[in-house]
Copies of this chain bind each other. A is one copy, B any other.
C-alpha cells in the first residue's frame, strides 16, 4: 500500500523509524533541529499537537484534523502531500479551510491508508473533496484512497492542482506541478463548504480556482533535507534557478542573480502571460517565501511585484506575503495569481481560523 516516494532521493522512513535511538551520533551531523532524520515527521506532529490544541493530531495514523467533530451536512476537505512545505497543509486545517491534512515523510507522498483514515474521521455523510497537488505519487495514492473510501461508502471527489507554469512535465510530475494555488483552492473551496454547498459545487469551485491560477518560482539557494544533509542541487554563488519546483526540481534555466525589480518583472510577466486574458477581472495574489527567505526581502520583492502587476494592467484585489508553501530552508520566492470573480473574492474574505491563515474570526 505504500506508494512510491515523490522524491526518490529521500526513501520512506520505513516501519522502524520510530524505534531509532534519538541520540545516535550519525543523525546529528546535519545542522537542523531534528532528533533523527527518520523521526522528523513524528516529532513534528508531536510539536504541532502541543502547539495547537484546536487541532486533533493522530500521530499513529498520521493525519491532522480539526479538534471539533464534523458538522452534519458539511462537505469535508482533505489534502496532503510530502512534508517540508509547512505550513502547507496541516497549518491550513481549521474552520473555513481544510478539515484534515495527511503529511507524508519529507518530500514523499502520504499513503492511501492515511488519506482513508482522514476521510473516515471527517466525513459527515456529505462527502469528501481531496485536494491533490499534481505529483505522480500524490495523484496515484489519492486515487487509491478514493477507491478505498468508495468501498467504505464515503463519497469523494478530487481536484488536481497544477498551477506552476515553469515546465510542462517535471521530475516527479506529468503535466504542470501544483504549488501556491493549493492555498487558494483550499481557502476558497473551504469557505464554500463551510456555507453548506454540496460536494459537486465545492469540487467545481475548487477546479475553477485552479484553472484561474498560475504560479512561477525562483530559487536563490537549494534546500537541504534532514536525510541527505546536503543541498539538493548545486547552484553557483551568483546564479539562480528560474522556474524551480517546490522540491528543488529543475526549472527553465539558470541565470545570474539580478536586482529585485528585474526578478519581479520576470515573475509577473511569466505568470500574467499565462493567465487567462480577463482585463477587468482582478487578481488574488500570493507572494510566497520558500522557507529561507527573510520577510524583509519578500516585502522588497512585493513592492516591485505590485508595481509590475499594475503596469501589466492587473488589479490586485487581495494579497498575501509570507512563507506559506515552502521548500524546507530554500531561499527563493514564488508568485501565484488567481483571476478571481466576485464570488471567489467573497469566499476568500470569509472567516478562516487555522494556524497559518486567520481572519474574520
Contacts and interface: CB of A to CB of B under 8 A. Distances in A.
Nearest to A27: B259
B293 A43 contact: no
Nearest to A103: B296
A8 interface: no
Nearest to A263: B33
A220 B32 contact: yes
Contacts of A34: 259-260, 297, 300
Contact of A29 (B36, B257, B299, B326): B257
B260 A31 contact: no
B51 A299 contact: yes
A296 B23 contact: no
A303 B333 contact: no
Contacts of A197: none
A33 B297 contact: yes
Contact of A221 (B31, B44, B295, B302): B31
A137 interface: no
A328 B261 contact: no
A28 B240 CA distance: 12
A171 interface: no
Contacts of A263: 33
B260 A33 contact: yes
A275 interface: no
Given A259-B22, A299-B44, A331 B329 contact: yes
A237 interface: yes
Contacts of A326: 294-295
Interface in A247-265: 256-263
B28 A257 contact: yes
Interface stretch (A69-77, A80-88, A123-131): A80-88
B35 A259 contact: yes
A22 B265 CA distance: 14
Interface of A: 22-23, 27-36, 40, 43-51, 83-84, 86-87, 91, 106, 220-221, 237-238, 240, 256-263, 287, 291-304, 306-307, 316, 319-321, 323, 326, 328-329, 331, 333, 358-359, 361
Q: What are the 3 A-B residue pairs with the smallest beta carbon separation, nearest first?
A: A47-B303, A47-B299, A46-B303
14 contacts: A22-B261, A27-B259, A28-B256, A28-B258, A33-B297, A35-B304, A36-B259, A43-B260, A44-B297, A86-B294, A106-B296, A293-B329, A294-B329, A361-B361
